Structures are given as structure tokens and as C-alpha cells.
Structure 1
Amino acid sequence: MKKVLTGLIVATVLLWGTVLDCAAKEQIKIGLLNSLTGAFALAGAEAGHRGSLIAIEMWNEKGGIGGKYEILPVVSDAQSNPDVAIREAERLINVEKVPVILGVYSSSIAVPLAPICEQNKTILWITIAISDAVVKGRHLQYVFRPQPMGSQWGKTSVEMLKDNLSRFGYKEPKELRVAVIYEDGPYGTSVQAANLEALKKYGMNIVHHEGYNHKANDLSALILKLKAAKPDVILHTGYYPDIVLFTKQAREL
């Protein structure tokens, strides 16, 4: 009986100590701004959001920040709409008082969002958007992005072609016929510009170059132009919905 009583006392003390420890921890709010609905959700925004939640959970399980602060995510839906994203960011900053906003899938949202966070001295940690226009020439102090910029993606994709010409059955870069198509927002524009620069640098044959609106519901005219141009390679920068549409219509035509 004494052993049972002693065990209960020890368990109670340990449990109470855990409760006190949790109660003593301060919370730090972090705004999670992603497009959980709309066209960008399935394209990658929702997956990025889940990744952020997993990372926060892992940190909290390890004791939080410095063993003192528990991270409290404040979830916000940008709805794949730049105007909604701006309103939600202002709510996170002014109402929720978050010191950090994490996320942003689309560059069309990240570009106008960056100066707002900068003006309010709120850290914007971009996890997905890659357009050069987000940071280039802006001298931002509160906006961070660990991933490569769009221009690096564009350059690297062409270098991959150059380095593998023989595998594709070509002897010289000029033999390769390349088409460059892209969604004409900040994301696609930055990647395609680097595509063109690298293609010209290596002397590859650009047979077609055209942008389109990522919200387009018909890309058949573009596809017919590509069929006439007869490229060996198509460098396509777009989002999930328009790339699916392009692929589907290309198979039908």
C-alpha cells in the first residue's frame, strides 16, 4: 500500500511539474499566410502550409524556442488572391500582433506583400515564392527567402540542356530547337527572362517565346503555335492549374 501511495505521489508531482512548466512558457505568435483555397491551394500552397505546421509542432515538442517560448501558429487563408492576402497580412500585423509572417506560395502575392511587411517592421519569411521581383533592388531588411531566385531556376534549366546535349542526340547547341512559354506574372516573367538569356548565351535556337495569363481557360491557340514551331524542348514556367490545362489540351490537339 505504501509503495502504491508513494507511486501516486511521485506521479502527481511529475504531472504538476509538467503543468507548471507549460504554464510558465511564454507564447510567440507566428502568422501562417498561405492560399488554403483557390487555384494555388492544390498547386503547392496547402502542402507548404502543412510543412510549416509540422515544423512548428516539432520545435514545440523539443521545448519551443530556447526552451522558453512556445510557438503559436495563427493561420490565415490568402485564397489565391493578392488583395485578400494583403488584407489578411494587415490583420495578422495589426490585430493578431504577430512579429513574423511565414509562407506565401505565389510570387504575385509575395511581390506586393513584401513592402507592407517591411513598412510595419514585421518579418516576412517566404517559404515558396521565387520571383526576383520580390527582393531585387528593394533593399529589404525584414524580408527573407532561403530558396533560389527565379532567375537561378531559369539559368539552371538551360544549363541542364547544354550539359546533356549528347544524351539527347545533338552535337551543337544551335541544333536544339527550344520554345519558352510562361505565365506572365512575376514568377513566370523572372524565370523566362533567365531562360532567354542563357539560351542566347549558349547559342540555342529559340523557335517560340510567349507568355499567357495563368487564369486562362483555353491555351489551344498557344499550343497550335508550338506545333507549327516544332520545338525539340519546351521550357514551361507556370502554375499547377494552367500546366494541367496545357497538358490536357496538347494531348487533344
Structure 2
Amino acid sequence: MSSHLINLTGLRPNRRQLMAGIGAGGLMLATQGRVFAAGAENVIKVGFVSPRTGALSGFGQTDGYVLDLARKALAKGLAIGGKTYEVQIIDVDTQSDPSRASQLAKSLINSDQVDLILAVSTPETINPVADACEAAGVPCLSTVMPWEAWYFGRGAKPGEPSPFKWTYHFGFGVGEFHKTYVSQWNLLETNKKVGVLYPNDADGNAVRANLAPLLAKDGFTIVDPGPYEDGTTDYSAQIAQFKKEKIEIFSSFPIPPDFAAFWRQAAQQGLRRQLKICQVAKTGLFPDGIEALGNIGFNISSAAYWHKTFPYTSTLTGVTGPELADGYEAASGKQWTQQLGATLSLLDAGVSALQASTDPKNKAEVAKAIGSLKTTTIGGKVDFGSGPVPNVSPGPIIGTQWVKAPAGSKFKLDYVVTENVTDPNVPVGAKLLPLNG
């Protein structure tokens, strides 16, 4: 298994050595001035699963930096119940493959014998990991996918008791997308005709079943050509239907390569010209993907599960949003992304749950602590007592837009907040611009 294991028992390298070691595939690290008691009972092992390579690699691009911050914050151990535990974070790359995600989770459970698994970003990553944890009786906490695709997509039934004892998820759901999209789309005058492109996957099916009807009730006409398979390369039929129906709003939940193919064809075939709003989710989240589109990437609307202007502080590392974004840009030379805060919020919440447990080496106690967790991470509130269903804590999704960066900027794009209905604490920074404005 490809993993990065941090063993906190010796001298601490500098950042350059640390990042080089991580890039090489593994590193042994220990804490200066701190000796932990020997024995597995004094070591908390946390598995961290994300897509670092493959089609979903944008979601994992910043993970190395965030994990570095977390490991440094945990370098002197974690005090729980009068005892200090060594913490090992074992992070693995799913390569954007659900089957590999499941295999890695089983290896973390059976070979590494982890006490807790944290999984982040998209159903393709999270659901197979959560299923493996549920089957093995290992606590799992996850974020960054619609909770409906996590809860109902894994077999839970509306109105019935939760079938999950070990797995928990926090973050946005269809309800947040609904509020955000209505708020965002009402900022511009349109004919309220919405062309939707929903794939035949967990995200697409959850959104089709739950979001589209809510938007229709709010007066939007939904034009849906039907589900398509991930990896589709020709969207001519869908584009022709959207043009015929004269849609002025486009909304989609595709994997990034599929949206890039569709959007280029939409520009070539004249659909882009008639649109006033292009609202995407699951893609269009990160600057490199938008930048790769060239001029047709400007003014695409997105939604942020985290933005550097979120007014919250990491409970684990103590960094603020601007500090996290600026630190990443200084270390990497790349533009900050919303995944920074999402990944750190998962680590914030996971460590808070370990601290709240009476015994972090008792899996049932850790699961119980997650189920009653109430904290505020760098991404905002996590409260499993306030969920729409058991095992779920809801979270915000904020209306945003990619615009040309002002003159003198280091980067070509600026990512601005255009509405904040799901978390009014986040400041609105710009007016929504029409796609072709």
C-alpha cells in the first residue's frame, strides 16, 4: 500500500526535507524533546484517504500541505484524559478509483490497524471507504460530497432508522445547493430555463432526485436530457436540446474531464453564447481546471464549501482562512483552493472527536464521540445533533464566481463570493456577472 507514515519518535526535519520525504512516498518523523511511552496502546493511528492523482486529483492537490500542518500541530502528541498519545497519520491516494479506495481502506483497517479513518472528497472516494469501515466496525468521518449521496447512496431509507453505526459525514447537501442556487440565479434576470447535465453516478442521481424538483417548485423550468455515463466524450445531443429549449442557465455535477469536454463543445456549437449563468459543481472548484479552459473559463459560477474569507479558525492548527491560503501559496507557488479548508476541517473535526472520546483506542467510544460531536472547524460548525438525518451534520455551500484577476495579480483568476444565504457570516465580496458580460 502506498502510504505516508509519520512516526513521532526522533528529530524533526525542516519543511523542505518533510515535503521531499512525502513526495518520495514515505517519511519517518519524530518529535524533538518528547519521548512517548512504548506500546501500541499509546499510539493513535489515523488513516487519511483522498484522491491525489487521477481524474479527481484536484481534490487532493493541497492535501500534502494540510497534512504537513496537521502533523506539526500533533508533533508533541495529543493529550486525552490525562494521557499523552503519539499520533500517526497514514495517508493514502485512491488514484480516483473507487475499487482502490475500498482496498486501501481494508488495508488500513487490517494491516495498519487504524483507530479512525478520515475520508475526503466525492462519492468515488468516500462511499467505498465508509462501507469498508461500517463492515469492519471502524469509525469513519468524511466530508466534501452531498450528504444525500452518502446517506441514501449507501442504502439508508427515508424515514427509517439509520443503518450506520460507525460512519459519519458532515457538510453540504441538496438543501444547501437549492438555497444557494436560487439565491445566486435570482441575482440576474433570466428566462429561468435551466439545462441540467447530471451523470449516472451517486452525485448525479442524488441531485436529479432531490435538487431538480426543488428548483422546479421555485419557478425554474428544468430541461434534463437524461443521465449520461462518466467519461462521455460527445455531448452534441444534449447541446442541441439545450439550444432548442433556449435555456439561459446551465447547471451540472460532472467529474472535471467531462465538464471540460462538454464546455468546449458548448462554445464550439453556440450554446455558450445564449447562456447568462453557467453553474457547476464537483468541477470548476479549483483554479487550474478553470484556467485550462482559457477565455471560456471566465465568469463560470461555482459554489464553495470553503473560501479563504470564511471567518473561522482551525481548532487543530490555530490558522485562519487567510493564513491557510497565503501559507499554501507561499509554499507551493500555486493559487489557493477551497479544498485547503475542507481538508483541514476534516482533521479539525477528527482530532476533536478523539479528544472528546473517553478512550481513543476504543473504537466504539470514538464512534460515539463523533456521533455527539459539536465543534467549530475552519470550515464552520459541525454538529451531529442538528442533522437532517442521523449520522449527518449539515454544512454550507456558498455562491461564487471565477472572474479575471485584477491587474498586477500573481494569478489569472480571482475567486469571489457572490452570495452567502447558507452562512451569512461569510462576507459577500462581489456582484455576480453574466457569463458573457
Assess same fold via TM > 0.5. Answer: yes
Deviation (angstroms), 1:209: 4.2
The equivalent residue for 2:133 is 117
What CA distance in whole angstroms lies between the structure 2 residues aligned with 1:73 and 1:158?
37
After superposition, the C-alpha distances for 1:178-217 in whole angstroms (9 at most, x for unaligned) are 1121222111221233331112212322233432222223
What CA distance in whole angstroms lies between the structure 2 residues aligned with 1:52 and 1:122?
24
1:160 paired to 2:183: yes
The equivalent residue for 1:195 is 211
1:169 paired to 2:183: no
1:229 paired to 2:245: yes
The equivalent residue for 1:217 is 233
State which drifts further: 127-136 or 94-103.
Answer: 127-136
SS at match of 1:146: strand
SS at match of 1:210: coil
TM-score (structure 1 length as normaliser): 0.78
1:86 paired to 2:118: no
What CA distance in whole angstroms lies between the structure 1 residues aligned with 2:181 and 2:32?
57
Paired amino acid for 1:218: D
Paired amino acid for 1:38: G
1:59 paired to 2:82: no
Deviation (angstroms), 1:52: 4.9
Identity over aligned residues, as a percent? 25
What CA distance in whole angstroms lies between the structure 1 residues aligned with 2:212 and 2:199?
15
Paired amino acid for 2:238: L
What CA distance in whole angstroms lies between the structure 1 residues aligned with 2:268 and 2:137?
50
Deviation (angstroms), 1:31: 0.9
Is the Cα–Cα contact under 8 Å of residues 177 and 206 in structure 1 kept in the other structure? yes
Deviation (angstroms), 1:156: 2.2
In the alignment, which of 129, 132, 139 is matched to residue 163 of structure 2? 139
State which drifts further: 130-139 or 88-97.
Answer: 130-139
1:243 paired to 2:256: no
Structure of greater Rg: 1
* 5+ residue gaps, structure 1: 1-17
Deviation (angstroms), 1:63: 4.2
Pair 1:187–1:54, CA change in 2 (3 A): farther
Paired amino acid for 1:156: K
Is the Cα–Cα contact under 8 Å of residues 144 and 172 in structure 2 kept in the other structure? no
CA RMSD of aligned residues (A): 2.5
Pair 1:242–1:157, CA change in 2 (3 A): farther
What CA distance in whole angstroms lies between the structure 2 residues aligned with 1:64 and 1:75?
18
1:23 paired to 2:36: yes
Deviation (angstroms), 1:20: 6.2
* 5+ residue gaps, structure 2: 1-30, 157-161, 270-437
What CA distance in whole angstroms lies between the structure 2 residues aligned with 1:186 and 1:55?
32
Pair 1:194–1:21, CA change in 2 (3 A): same
After superposition, the C-alpha distances for 1:65-102 in whole angstroms (9 at most, x for unaligned) are 44712321112221211111111111110000011111
What CA distance in whole angstroms lies between the structure 2 residues aligned with 1:59 and 1:127?
21
Paired amino acid for 1:155: H
